């Protein structure tokens, strides 16, 4: 980005920031693949749109390379989506993100018992 010409500086900055954004997005998906409803689909849609655009403007050398890289990312993200069952993020009440206990298996209640609260002892 530091070597970009003045007329390409904005585009190169946008590209660099977007790379950082997608790294963070993919890290979130890797950390909690079934607690990111819509994130999988959004990442797939965005990358697929870039592949389609690269095909449309395919005579531009930069578009060919970027299109191939984005196509590889679409394949990898789709495979990860299937292997991690990312669609299960849309099912309500499947996990308690604060503890990671499953709520569905116990009829909607978490498997850990509620703490017993006692009044304070005077004196």
Write down the pLDDT at residue 109. 52
Write down the pLDDT at residue 86. 81
User: In this structure, is the dihedral angle defined by the CA atoms of residues 86, 88, 89 and 94, taken in order, positive or negative?
Assistant: negative
Q: For the segment 89-98, what is each residue's pLDDT rounded down to a tens digit?
A: 888 765 555 5
Residue pair 91/103 in contact by the 8 Å Cβ criterion: no
Q: For the segment 33-74, what is each residue's pLDDT rounded down to a tens digit?
A: 888 788 888 888 988 998 999 899 878 878 888 889 899 999
The two tokens of residue 16 are 């660099």
Q: State residue 102 phi and psi, 5-degree precision.
A: -85, 135
Write down the pLDDT at residue 108. 52
Residue pair 35/93 in contact by the 8 Å Cβ criterion: no
Can you give the pTM of this predicted structure? Answer: 0.61
């Amino acid at each position: 980005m530091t070597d970009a010409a003045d007329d390409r500086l904005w585009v190169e900055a946008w590209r660099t920031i977007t790379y950082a954004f997608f790294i963070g997005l993919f890290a979130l998906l890797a950390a909690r693949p079934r607690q990111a409803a819509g994130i999988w689909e959004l990442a797939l849609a965005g990358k697929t749109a870039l592949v389609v655009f690269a095909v449309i403007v395919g005579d531009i050398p930069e578009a060919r390379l970027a299109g191939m890289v984005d196509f590889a990312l679409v394949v990898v993200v789709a495979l990860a989506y299937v292997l991690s069952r990312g669609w299960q993020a849309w099912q309500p009440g499947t996990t308690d993100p604060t503890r990671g206990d499953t709520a569905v298996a116990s009829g909607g209640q978490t498997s850990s018992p509620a703490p017993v609260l006692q009044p304070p002892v005077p004196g």
